[in-house]
């Protein structure tokens, strides 16, 4: 029975991915023909695709708080690649990802086609990335970043990189802090986190082979960035997320 469920889930996921590839290819072709910026359309299609993908994952998602009504810089803690479809299915969003993802088979190409911005760590292109983020926000498009820079097992929160939030300050864009928590039988889920040396396929098989678990998405009160320094904005976002995840304020970043 469990085997059958696994195969059904895999089949469904593959079908969704194939559909995504078709869509991405189609948008790419249109762009080459039109030479127009199709970002709004890309964001909408991406949301639609991520909704299909989120539905194919064995989660029950429970939303807390209110979705923002205007474009924002979304700032979330990061546990797994599944954060992306689960958050991205809610509103049209673009993403910032580490450069390695670009080389992942299929997923990398899909992310690229969805308009994801890629960042190389320590390659000194943070100025370039900031400008890209800024341009995005100035065009009033929502953007999601994971300022921890990497995933955790959901039991802690790393220090946020305040540089990534500089674009919000400069664009005077509000920040939507998000706390995402994976729970299995009421405890922190040990299967959902995608960390360290995990590879995508084995993680996926492990996930699809297990029982449906719960994901809580907490949309915390919006932070206005007006008049704040990026470190202060970062501190507030981190404090809010930490307080929601752990009920306490974790160690706050020193001025970065």
Partner 1 sequence: MTHSAITAKKTPERRLRAERLLGAQPLREAQALRFRVFSAEYDAKLKGAELGLDMDDFDPHCRHIGVRDLSSGELVATTRLLDHQAAAGLGRFYSEEEFSLHGLAHLEGPLLEIGRTCVAEGYRNGATIAVLWSELAEVLNEGGYRYLMGCASIPMRDGGVQAQAVMQRLRERHLCTERLRAEPKTPLPSLDLPGNVTAELPPLLKAYMRLGAKICGEPCWDPDFQVADVFILLKRDELCPRYARHFKAAV
* 90 belongs to the binding site for partner 1 (CB under 8 A): yes
Count of chain residues binding partner 1 (CB under 8 A): 21
For residue 203, the Cα-to-chain-centroid distance in whole angstroms is 17
Decide if residue 22 touches partner 1 (CB under 8 A): no
Of 86 and 133, the one with the shorter C-beta distance to partner 1 is: 86
Query: Among the candidate windows 23-31, 71-79, 89-97, 232-240, which touches partner 1 by CB under 8 A?
Result: 89-97
CB 244, min distance to partner 1, A: 11
Nearest to 255 by CA among 233, 231, 238: 231
The residue from 28, 68, 108, 209 that contacts partner 1 (CB under 8 A) is: 68
CB atoms within 10 A of CB 34: 9
Q: Does the footprint of partner 1 cover residue 62 (CB under 8 A)?
A: yes
Q: How far is CA 103 from CA 90, 106, 233, in A?
A: 26, 9, 32
Q: Which one, 51 or 200, has the nearer CB to partner 1?
A: 51
Q: Which stretch binds partner 1 (CB under 8 A): 4-12, 33-41, 43-51, 191-199?
A: 43-51
222 binds partner 1 per the rule CB under 8 A: no
The closest alpha carbon to 205, from 57, 51, 83, belongs to 57
CB 79 within 8 A of CB 192: yes
CA distances from 109 to 17, 27, 28, 101, 141 (A): 11, 13, 11, 9, 21
Query: Interface residues with partner 1 (CB under 8 A)?
Result: 47-48, 51-52, 54-55, 57, 59-69, 89-91
């Amino acid at each position: 029975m469990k085997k059958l469920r696994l195969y059904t889930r895999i089949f469904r996921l593959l079908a969704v991915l194939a559909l995504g590839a078709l869509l991405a290819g189609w948008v790419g072709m249109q762009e080459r023909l039109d030479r127009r910026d199709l970002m709004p359309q890309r964001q909408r299609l991406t949301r639609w695709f991520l909704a299909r993908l989120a539905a194919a994952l064995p989660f029950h998602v429970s939303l807390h708080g209110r979705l923002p009504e205007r474009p924002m810089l979304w700032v979330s803690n990061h546990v797994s690649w599944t954060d992306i479809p689960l958050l991205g299915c809610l509103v049209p969003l673009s993403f910032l990802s580490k450069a390695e993802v670009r080389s992942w088979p299929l997923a990398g190409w899909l992310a690229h086609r969805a308009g994801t911005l890629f960042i190389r760590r320590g390659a000194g292109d943070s100025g370039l990335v900031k400008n890209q983020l800024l341009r995005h926000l100035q065009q009033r498009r929502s953007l999601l970043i994971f300022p921890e820079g990497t995933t955790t097992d959901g039991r802690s929160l790393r220090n946020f990189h305040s540089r990534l939030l500089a674009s919000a300050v400069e664009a005077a864009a509000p920040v939507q802090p998000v706390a995402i928590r994976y729970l299995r039988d009421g405890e922190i889920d040990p299967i959902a986190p995608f960390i360290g040396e995990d590879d995508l396929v084995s993680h996926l098989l492990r996930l699809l082979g297990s029982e449906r678990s719960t994901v809580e998405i907490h949309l915390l009160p919006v932070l206005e960035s007006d008049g704040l320094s990026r470190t202060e904005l970062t501190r507030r976002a981190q404090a809010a997320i930490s307080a929601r995840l752990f009920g306490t304020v974790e160690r706050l970043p020193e001025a970065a």
